[in-house]
């Protein structure tokens, strides 16, 4: 300080010399400078931010003339730790807050240009008690806790400042929320980018605990008693099978006991207590559901008869499964000790199984279904449309009488020992088979002889009957035929050559499409049936303007070179195969998965817009290599909407799919709910296929995909 004073004096002497030499005005200016040097000048203060209780320093000139320092809010400091001309220090009181600082001087107040800020290190010293229960009071101690806006408990459960019981710099009291879990405590200043301080130790939050669960095993529908501690914390109990019983549905509920009704469909499993915190408390062992004990009579019986089940807890039984996985009918009026169950008509021999609402199974005895005995029939020979009588036992079980030729006779009057049946037209000489309700078949010991003077069928020259074209029937005694009637009960009206070994008949245009038989009537009034054959062919393209794709390269179609997105097909034009011009042909011999057959979303392919209520979707299909059973089905995409169009062919007796040459497949658009009322011309168009097994597409041919007005 002495050096500073000497330096100041040297400068003063220099200024005095200048004043003597200079004019009067300069002398006056020198006097002004001397006055300014006595004023208090604040150059800086800090550190900033500063902790309360720390030393605050002011640096400037003539600070020894400061009479007081006013800290916000209006805290007057007159006692300084150091007071010198260039340095003034003081201890920041704990009650100081952010704001501007004012220095009081004889020349007037000096206010800092910046506010004083504080370093406020919030800390947690501890908390009590160390173990709490929801609803208890928790006390947190530390420093600067007055800055805390919220307390955070595990798991992210917060208690806001407004909900504190009390709040000071050194202590916070709060009520432990029901959702709190065991874990660290944290406090936050609540800023957008908060300062969060965690406790060193863990707060233990009490959970409910089991003492006993009785009874175990328990019967569904009865009460279960859970004994334990802190059970008043439980909001719900979860049982096996995902059954949740809310506290509001408990029979009774207090801190040491919960009584609840066990739902009927509860399954074996742990009992789980769920408090508000969501921390589940589970039993070590499973709660086991009671199963019925039972016996069954009789064990040999007819389909449609009743079994009597006796035992205990039979009211738990939900359904009964008989042989063949057929479900019986539990009759009304049963009790916990006896029920009656009707055997399904289609049940077969096997163990009867009783299934509770908890999906627990109890196996009963092996049941044997009575089979009818076929002793005789009379007369042993008869004409079609006449009645014969079958004799035997338990014939009330018979649902079908099948003659040779796989034709069913119409069953008339019957008793347990007698059954009348009409010989069907088309039946042939051979055995008679009776079939029971459950599909069991019994075959006659002797042949039935059909009395008839009918022609003998040899073959069809054509592989199918195309409407409007000749179908040739080959055989013997064909001159006996007076009339032929096609499927749909449509009589033939036009014939070609008709001899004893051949009949040429024109297939009616309105014949029912698909596989069917031709009925015949002889001049003697005998009736018969020629074997099954496919009727149908390709329909003509009625309106070319409604063509979607005929695979011709031109104004009304588009080459598959553009639209073969999946690589599953090719463009073909073999005259020996084609209907006319080009067609689409599959090329993948073992497709497995999903693929485009063809697709289009560009303007080159004409895509007509139609109303679904008034139109069919048609396409000509030829499947020369049958699609194996279990292969996938096709999907048609019309303006972005997918519809299932099946296997495209006709299902054969072995489950495969094929066609007898080119045929037209028709789909009624009105039956597809997903389609809009008006199918627009825009969007994605095409055909896709998904299959989970290998599918040979090399025998698939498609042409003339089109709409047609109804």
CA 594 to each of CA 18, 638, 692: distance values in angstroms, whole numbers, following the listed order: 105, 18, 9
CA 85 to each of CA 2, 38, 67: distance values in angstroms, whole numbers, following the listed order: 12, 10, 12
The conformation of residue 40, written as its DSSP 8-state character, comes to: -
Q: What is the mean pLDDT of residues 595-616?
A: 84
Confidence band (pLDDT; 50, 70, 90) for 605? low
Q: What is the mean pLDDT of residues 507-530?
A: 93
Which pair of structure tokens corresponds to residue 703?
Answer: 């042409």
Which of 32-41, 107-116, 348-357 has the least mean pLDDT? Answer: 32-41
Give pLDDT, residue 554: 60
How many domains does the chain contain in total? 8
Q: Which residue has the higher pLDDT, 581 or 487?
A: 487
**Taking a C-beta distance cutoff of 8 angstroms, is the pair 397, 436 a contact?**
yes
**Taking a C-beta distance cutoff of 8 angstroms, is the pair 95, 77 a contact?**
no
Give pLDDT, residue 408: 95
322 within a domain of the structure (yes/no): yes
- 204-235 in b/e burial notation, b at 16+ Cβ within 10 A? ebbbbebeebeeeebbbeeebebebebbbbbe
* Residue 300 and residue 357 in one domain: yes
**Hey, which of 21-35, 117-131, 305-319 has the most confident mean pLDDT?**
305-319
Q: What 3 state SS string does 593-646 have?
A: EEEEEEEECCCCCCCCCEEHHHEEEEEEEEECCCECCCCCEEEEEECCEEEEEE
Q: What is the mean pLDDT of residues 229-257?
A: 96
3-state secondary structure of 673: coil
Q: At what angle do helices 2-21 and 24-36 cross, to 10 degrees?
A: 160
Q: What is the mean pLDDT of residues 681-690?
A: 90
236 pLDDT more than 50? yes
288 within a domain of the structure (yes/no): no
* Residue 361 and residue 395 in one domain: no
* Residue 562 and residue 691 in one domain: yes
68 pLDDT more than 80? yes
pLDDT digits (tens, 9 = 90+) for 404-434: 989 999 999 999 999 999 999 889 899 999 9
Confidence band (pLDDT; 50, 70, 90) for 257? very high
Give pLDDT, residue 558: 58
Give pLDDT, residue 4: 34
pTM of the model: 0.58
Phi, psi of 419, deg, nearest 5: -145, 125
Query: Hey, CA dihedral for 266, 271, 274, 275, is it positive or negative?
Result: positive
pLDDT digits (tens, 9 = 90+) for 11-42: 333 333 333 333 333 333 333 444 457 899 99
For the sheet containing 326-327, what is the strand order? 300-301, 361-369, 348-356, 317-323, 326-327
Q: Can you give the CATH number for the domain in which 647 is found?
A: 2.60.120
Closest CA to 361 of 351, 370, 371: 351
Q: State which residues form the domain around 18.
A: 2-36
Confidence band (pLDDT; 50, 70, 90) for 244? very high
605 within a domain of the structure (yes/no): yes
- 432-441 in b/e burial notation, b at 16+ Cβ within 10 A? bbbbbbbebe
* Residue 614 and residue 552 in one domain: yes
**Taking a C-beta distance cutoff of 8 angstroms, is the pair 528, 517 a contact?**
no
Give pLDDT, residue 90: 96
Query: Hey, CA dihedral for 219, 221, 223, 226, is it positive or negative?
Result: positive
Q: Give the domain-ending residue among 119, 150, 168.
A: 119
d(CA 478, CA 454): 8
* Residue 113 and residue 135 in one domain: no
341 within a domain of the structure (yes/no): yes
pLDDT digits (tens, 9 = 90+) for 337-350: 999 999 999 999 99
Q: Give the domain-ending residue among 503, 535, 567.
A: 535
Q: Can you give the CATH number for the domain in which 343 is found?
A: 2.60.40.10
2 pLDDT more than 50? no
Give pLDDT, residue 622: 96
Give pLDDT, residue 31: 39
219 within a domain of the structure (yes/no): yes
Q: Give the domain-ending residue among 158, 184, 205.
A: 205
709 pLDDT more than 60? yes
10 pLDDT more than 80? no
Helix (H), strand (E) at residue 17? helix 2-21
Confidence band (pLDDT; 50, 70, 90) for 191? confident
152 within a domain of the structure (yes/no): yes
* Residue 440 and residue 512 in one domain: no
293 pLDDT more than 90? yes
416 within a domain of the structure (yes/no): yes
Give pLDDT, residue 603: 63
185 within a domain of the structure (yes/no): yes
392 pLDDT more than 60? yes
* Residue 397 and residue 358 in one domain: no
Q: Which residues contact 229 (CB under 8 A, 6 or more apart)?
A: 208, 209, 211, 255, 256
64 pLDDT more than 90? yes
Q: What is the mean pLDDT of residues 439-447?
A: 94
* Residue 339 and residue 269 in one domain: no
CA 215 to each of CA 223, 226, 269, 286, 288: distance values in angstroms, whole numbers, following the listed order: 9, 9, 14, 12, 9
312 pLDDT more than 90? yes
d(CA 686, CA 638): 7
* Residue 446 and residue 426 in one domain: yes
* Residue 582 and residue 690 in one domain: yes
* Residue 555 and residue 508 in one domain: no
540 pLDDT more than 80? yes
Give pLDDT, residue 1: 37
Q: Can you give the CATH number for the domain in which 255 is found?
A: 2.60.40
* Residue 435 and residue 474 in one domain: no
pLDDT digits (tens, 9 = 90+) for 541-585: 999 999 988 888 765 445 676 788 889 999 999 999 999 889 999
């Amino acid at each position: 300080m002495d050096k500073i004073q000497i330096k100041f004096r040297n400068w003063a002497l220099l200024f005095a010399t200048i004043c003597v030499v200079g004019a009067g005005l300069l002398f006056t200016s020198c006097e002004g400078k001397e006055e300014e040097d006595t004023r208090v000048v604040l150059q800086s203060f800090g550190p900033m931010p500063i902790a309360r209780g720390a030393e605050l320093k002011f640096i400037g000139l003539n600070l020894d003339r400061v009479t007081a320092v006013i800290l916000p809010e209006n805290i007057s400091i007159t006692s300084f730790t150091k007071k010198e001309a260039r340095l003034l220090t003081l201890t920041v009181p704990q009650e100081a807050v952010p704001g501007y600082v004012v220095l009081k001087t004889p020349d007037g107040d000096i206010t800092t240009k910046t506010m004083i800020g504080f370093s406020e290190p919030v800390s947690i010293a501890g908390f009590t008690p160390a173990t709490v229960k929801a609803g208890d009071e928790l006390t947190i101690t530390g420093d600067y806790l007055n800055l805390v806006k919220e307390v955070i408990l595990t798991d992210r459960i917060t208690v806001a400042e407004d909900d504190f019981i009390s709040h000071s710099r050194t202590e916070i009291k709060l009520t432990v929320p029901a959702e709190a879990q065991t874990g660290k405590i944290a406090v936050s200043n609540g800023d957008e980018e908060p300062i969060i301080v965690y406790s060193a130790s863990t707060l233990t939050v009490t959970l409910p605990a089991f003492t006993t669960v009785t009874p175990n095993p328990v019967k569904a529908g009865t009460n279960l008693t859970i004994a334990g501690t802190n059970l008043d914390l439980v909001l719900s109990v979860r049982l096996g099978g995902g059954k949740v019983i809310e506290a509001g549905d408990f029979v009774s509920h207090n801190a040491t006991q919960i009584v609840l009704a066990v739902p009927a469909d509860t399954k074996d499993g742990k009992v789980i207590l769920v408090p508000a915190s969501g921390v589940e408390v589970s039993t070590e062992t499973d709660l086991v559901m009671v199963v019925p004990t039972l016996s069954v009579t009789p064990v040999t019986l007819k389909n449609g008869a009743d079994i009597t089940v006796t035992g205990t807890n039979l009211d738990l039984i939900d359904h009964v499964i008989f042989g063949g996985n057929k479900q019986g009918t539990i009759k009304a009026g049963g009790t916990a000790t006896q029920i009656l169950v009707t055997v399904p008509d289609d049940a077969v021999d096997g163990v009867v199984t009783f299934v509770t609402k908890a999906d627990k199974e109890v196996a009963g005895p092996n049941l044997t279904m009575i089979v009818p005995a076929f002793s005789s029939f009379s007369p042993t020979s008869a004409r079609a449309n006449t009645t014969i009588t079958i004799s035997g036992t338990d014939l009330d079980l018979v649902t079908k009488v099948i003659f040779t030729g796989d034709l069913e006779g119409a069953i008339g009057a019957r008793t347990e020992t007698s059954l009348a049946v009409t010989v069907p037209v088309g039946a042939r000489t051979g055995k008679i088979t009776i079939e029971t309700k459950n599909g069991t078949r019994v075959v006659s010991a002797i042949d039935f002889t059909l009395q008839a003077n009918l022609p003998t069928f040899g073959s069809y020259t054509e592989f199918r009957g195309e409407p409007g074209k000749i179908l040739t029937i080959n055989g013997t005694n064909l001159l006996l035929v007076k009339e032929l009637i096609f499927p749909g009960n449509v009589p033939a009206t036009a014939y070609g050559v008709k001899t004893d070994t051949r009949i040429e008949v024109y297939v009616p245009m309105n014949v029912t499409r698909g596989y069917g038989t031709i009925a015949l009537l002889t001049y003697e009034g005998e009736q018969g049936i020629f074997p099954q054959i496919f009727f149908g062919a390709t329909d003509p393209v009625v309106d070319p303007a409604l063509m979607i794709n005929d695979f011709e390269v031109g104004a009304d179609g588009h080459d598959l070179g553009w639209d073969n997105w999946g690589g599953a097909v090719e463009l073909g034009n073999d005259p020996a195969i084609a209907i006319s011009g080009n067609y689409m042909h599959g090329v993948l011999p073992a497709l497995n998965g999903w693929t485009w057959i063809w697709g289009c979303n560009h303007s080159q392919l004409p895509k007509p817009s139609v109303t679904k209520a008034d139109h069919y979707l048609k396409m000509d299909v030829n499947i020369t290599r049958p699609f194996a059973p279990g292969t996938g089905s096709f999907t048609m995409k019309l303006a972005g909407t997918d519809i299932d169009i099946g296997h495209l062919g006709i299902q054969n007796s072995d489950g495969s799919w094929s066609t007898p040459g080119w045929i037209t497949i028709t789909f009624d658009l009105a039956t597809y709910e997903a389609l809009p009322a008006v199918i627009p011309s825009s969007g994605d168009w095409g055909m896709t296929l998904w299959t989970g097994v290998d599918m040979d597409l090399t025998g698939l041919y498609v042409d003339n995909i089109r709409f047609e007005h109804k």
